[in-house]
Amino acid sequence: MKIAFVGKGGSGKTTLSSLFIRHLAATGAPVLAVDADINQHLGPALGLDEAEAAALPAMGDRLPLIKDYLRGTNPRISSAETMIKTTPPGAGSRLLRVCETNPVYEACAHPVELDGAAVRLMVTGPFTEADLGVACYHSKTGAVELCLNHLVDGRGEYVVVDMTAGSDSFASGMFTRFDMTFLVAEPTRKGVSVYRQYKEYARDFGVALKVVGNKVQGQDDIDFLQEEVGEDLLVTVGHSDWVRAMEKGRPPRFELLEDANHLALQALRTAADATYDVRDWDRYTRQMVHFHLKNAQSWGNARTGVDLASQVDPGFVLRESLHSVEVGAPQPA
């Protein structure tokens, strides 16, 4: 299952995504965790110290390797340099699976131990002022988007992405890459305004969206969230002594997390798992192509000097049954 945690800065989404990752790992589930946020805090939230977090291999610095691997033998892609972050897979493309070893994971994934369990952590790398001002095809999140476009995951496998709820994810279509999106919102007007924006963008694309109310202090906060987001409110989370200890760098064993918070995390997992049976790979692939063509026309063709529409394999549908390397005859455009 591909799961995104989104929300405004300071909402607590990184803390909640790290708790969810710990919850999954504690049950033995395979987890690929990805930090795609402007503020790279997921590593420390999973227990890495500052030096370890700073030394994590940045996906953005390894984009040529990622492109070259995913390109495979796809004849529609003339070179790895012509791949942009929305480039979809086709016959001959290499695909990623959660439980495998491949050059992308070897270069970019770092194992993180969590109370005896282990997850893979991938990070975009820190963003500088220069990064935030360049054309979107240079965006460090492009490496994440390419991987998501080429990733095939099955039941009981989890890809958890901590990401910014920003305009870039809407323009590229990254927000459609997930089986479930958890929007973390504080019980404030500013908190629910992010929800309204996300809901508006996601409305026409069948995006499964649930709200996690965070920093809730009482029934009045719960009532406010229910009034503002209605049935999309899944759970609420309040103060946690366990989280406070974690933020001090002294996390207790995860089993000591408060019962109410364990139940909240299980509710998130149940909601995410429920989307598996309604997966629509055809729609998923169509949306991928839609946003690729849109980005190709708006900036990609001019940037690369190539008609990027030719990268689309009209006979290809991403689906769970595909092998890691799917070789076949490309369909005519």
Q: Write down all domains in the chain, each with its CATH number in brackets.
A: 2-311 (3.40.50.300)
> Rounded to 5 degrees, what angle do the CA atoms 160, 280, 123 make?
20
Measured between alpha carbons, how far is 31 from 53 in angstroms, rounded to an integer? 18
Burial (CB count <10 Å: 0-12, 13-18, 19+), residue 276? middle
pLDDT tens string 131-183: 555 444 345 788 999 999 999 999 999 999 999 866 667 878 999 999 999 99
Which is more confidently placed, 213 or 132? 213
- pLDDT-derived band at 207 (thresholds 50, 70, 90) equals very high
